[in-house]
Structure 1
């Protein structure tokens, strides 16, 4: 198993994938066995070149109107050897953002080496601060430089001064957690390749553990670290520059930081606004190529105009057009993705179409419902060799209930938004009423709940089919109104 994990992680490293966990490869597909559906419809993104070749379907981006990944690759190619390029990529969970990042890094592999960082797993999602983000970036680029290059131009006065200043910074007891104060922070004495890494990496390893917990930090510690942000930013730039020179000398490439999962559960809007708005100047000052994957609703928050970088959208895939007629091209694109993983013969006639429509084109929802339907089929007393209507109905009902729960009041809304306000906005968007797409707290809340979808060809909003069902149940839309899952 260890050899298998090393082999998979070796494949990932070429794409700039974070390799701190062993990633289980997807099985051969399309599968014909119900028992294999759950694994092949895994919610993990496509990461390796092999997985991209087997499962990625270009029809998805063709129907969306623009291939955001191709456009971004052009931007980074223009920036190579010049001013670092920084951007935000946004989209609903389930549109395939991580897969698109893998495509981007593959397209740029001749010029860039990616460093993918999941803030949701490598930091404390509920309490991370801007200095945690900077520290994690420093730690990751040091680890990557040591692992990928091992040697570089480290026997230099530049390396000595950098090492000394980093050790002095972490020797400050108001900076360093008590659990790591026993490490060797002694500066000076000359630096060689191995001594540089043997001194700095243990410090970074301990800091990495501290920032991952983070919940029990004292407020005075947080405030002190924020006051010393300029010092940390300077150190980050010096370390990034040092590692960038090493990569350039060895491979002729540049580093590209990809910070993902800012849209994961547990990360509040207030945290994101603090990192990207209040301390956006810190990110602007970093001399590095960067890409931040953020939730789509941030573009419609009150602080959206204060975001420090340009925004690129990975939009939803339509299953209806804006007038609620079937979007055949969108449905066929989603069908191509589904049947790349499962055989069409594994479902009774018409059931794949029901799942596709109910998903609203969202691949995460599609895979979750498909996997659930397969499990229901296996558990049924009338279990056969395929997914039946009753199994799909149960899976859709479960997902609809999840969407209903999201429509309640959210603690993450800047101010409470009641259901009546949301219902009026949903009906207005459904009817394409003028002004219904103007950003306001209600639109912000509905995007966060994924009740609204955003499409790219004409920049329009649509109501998710399962939410259309809910509006019809409550008689806010006519019983025969099109656009739902039924």
Structure 2
């Protein structure tokens, strides 16, 4: 889809240019990315990651976690990373939330998806015919034998088929494996009715699957190295999407974290920020890189002018200031807490309201009324998130949350120590984490809520009014 001219000067184009999708292509990065955000955050985490992967090239695989709140630009920063590493790496990038069933995926699903993606990318690079003739028959035999186990899969590839494959060309075997992979892709994305005994058996055979994955990924890696002199970098995104429970993530990365340690591949995982503050955080198998929030207030609740200016640059790259009445863009920036996803969502909402007024009264700009209504909608979303969450390891009631919020707001000693309250509030995005100094703050919309509920003084600063 062609990018619209930007910054847009027509209210009708605002929705399109404020797509909530991350920047992925070089053209999108060149047109819309603004480095001021990283400058105000304290450091450019992407530059540091690029250095780490650069050092790991031609050596031991480098694996890491990248974490941050939804809307801080994690996927966009991954696009920057892959562009910087383009001389050494090819990215195999995919979304766990869209490629797997986010409510029920298991560790073996992640492994299978990695294997399938490696094959798809490698075959596209070499050409299907060359790839099919290059892969060894022994490897294909062993993959078929794994899936022929009826306790592993319900596909129609049975043991007899594999036993009869002696002397058959690798290309013919590959035509047998293609439908198996197709069935597996369907099951790991849509399957919900797995028998417990099937899950347990697959987990029991994890060592076999890891060994197969390493052999298959190794073959794909060798193919890329021979052709381009590059290495694959697996980027597994969206472990922070809604619907994926904390229990699932703990199982994948803590209980079965050694699986990823044993894989001979460069890897990067995008995880939610709260996971870095959970009780199991110290057991995560790899280092963590934080993409912090962009401050619109400092720790003393005074306007953070550099932070606001950086966010204004991002918005101004997409939407002309002429479309918003004086001071109203500033209100949206403050209400967003520096979160680009929330900012774009509120700006789109306000623009839609202005369009309705344009139809009735010839409006040409987003005005104060439009912005106020958009902010109110977003504030209600934040209020809803402050309720009890089924994803918390144990119920955290409002009394505990409000006490933690007040402690964070006032900067009380120990307010940043991980615990159930902070864990839950980070998940709800009610608490933000800022730059290299590592300080926490309460989101401006949540400051509003605390004031409305008499948890903070009426004149407390740091809210939207």
How do 1:240-259 and structure 2 match up within 5 A?
240-259=217-236
- SS of residue matched to 1:43: coil
Cα separation, partners in 2 of 1:104 and 1:441, compared to 1, 3 Å: same
Aligned-residue offset at 1:201: 2.8
Structure 2 counterpart of 1:463: 442
Structure 2 counterpart of 1:332: 309
Q: Report Cα offsets for 1:340-359 as digits up to 9, x if no partner.
A: 00000000111100000000
1:440 aligns with 2:440: no
Cα separation, partners in 2 of 1:243 and 1:396, compared to 1, 3 Å: same
Q: Report Cα offsets for 1:132-159 as digits up to 9, x if no partner.
A: 0000000000010001122657656x71
Aligned-residue CA RMSD in angstroms?
Answer: 1.6
- Aligned equivalent of 1:294, options 271, 275, 278: 271
For the residues of structure 2 that align with 1:373 and 1:206, how far apart are their CA atoms? 45
Aligned-residue offset at 1:178: 4.3
Structure 2 counterpart of 1:21: none
For the residues of structure 2 that align with 1:232 and 1:424, how far apart are their CA atoms? 47
1:175 aligns with 2:175: no
Normalising to structure 1: TM-score of the pair? 0.92
Structure 2 residue runs of 5 or longer lacking an equivalent are none
1:108 aligns with 2:85: yes
Aligned-residue offset at 1:383: 4.9
For the residues of structure 1 that align with 2:282 and 2:401, how far apart are their CA atoms? 24
1:350 aligns with 2:344: no
Number of aligned residues: 461
- SS of residue matched to 2:136: helix
Aligned-residue offset at 1:198: 2.9
Q: Report Cα offsets for 1:251-288 as digits up to 9, x if no partner.
A: 11000000000011110000000000000011100010
Aligned-residue offset at 1:476: 1.2
1:188 aligns with 2:188: no
Structure 1 counterpart of 2:291: 314
1:233 aligns with 2:171: no
Structure 2 counterpart of 1:39: 16
Structure 1 counterpart of 2:201: 224
Aligned-residue offset at 1:378: 1.1
- Aligned equivalent of 1:475, options 423, 439, 454: 454
- Aligned equivalent of 1:87, options 59, 64, 69: 64
Contact 2:297 2:303 survives alignment (8 Å): yes
Cα separation, partners in 2 of 1:171 and 1:182, compared to 1, 3 Å: closer
- SS of residue matched to 1:377: helix
1:98 aligns with 2:75: yes
Aligned-residue offset at 1:179: 6.7
For the residues of structure 2 that align with 1:222 and 1:472, how far apart are their CA atoms? 49
For the residues of structure 1 that align with 2:209 and 2:452, how far apart are their CA atoms? 55
Structure 2 counterpart of 1:63: 40
Cα separation, partners in 2 of 1:182 and 1:234, compared to 1, 3 Å: closer
Structure 2 counterpart of 1:417: 396
- Aligned equivalent of 2:94, options 102, 117, 120: 117
Structure 2 counterpart of 1:269: 246
For the residues of structure 2 that align with 1:183 and 1:251, how far apart are their CA atoms? 39
Structure 1 counterpart of 2:185: 208
- Aligned equivalent of 1:377, options 341, 351, 354: 354
Aligned-residue offset at 1:307: 0.2
Contact 1:164 1:188 survives alignment (8 Å): no
